Amino acid sequence: MAKLKVKVSGKGTSDDPFRVDLPAYTMVAGTEEYADKARKILKSVVVEIPDDEVDDKGKPSLEKIRRKYKGQPKWDRPDLKLPK
């Protein structure tokens, strides 16, 4: 598993929870950084992602994710953007 710090998306609501927009990941507990702690707005977190979804530098790879999830509209699309 590759470990990296990424920005979190979402609003923290039931239909738009705080999350990382990757097909497979695990947040590492205790690594959460908040944009506003009082309002519970999550900013970034360290996640673990499968080795076959990262490039040589350990970053999420568009090409590998598109190939692994080929034909799945959410991940196999030309305008796919991965979290930084």
Residues of this chain that bind other proteins (CB under 8 A): 10-14, 17-20, 22-27, 29, 32, 40-42, 68-72, 75-76
Beta bridge partners of 47: 4, 27
How far is the C-alpha of 73 from the C-alpha of 70, rounded, in Å?
Answer: 8
Closest to 64 (Cα-Cα) out of 32, 9, 24, 31:
24
Look up tokens 């040589």; give the residue.
56
* Cβ nearer to other proteins, comparing 41 with 58: 41
Q: How far is the CB of 68 from other proteins (least distance, A)?
A: 5
Q: How far is the CB of 14 from other proteins (least distance, A)?
A: 6
Is 10 within 8 Å of 16 (Cβ atoms)? yes
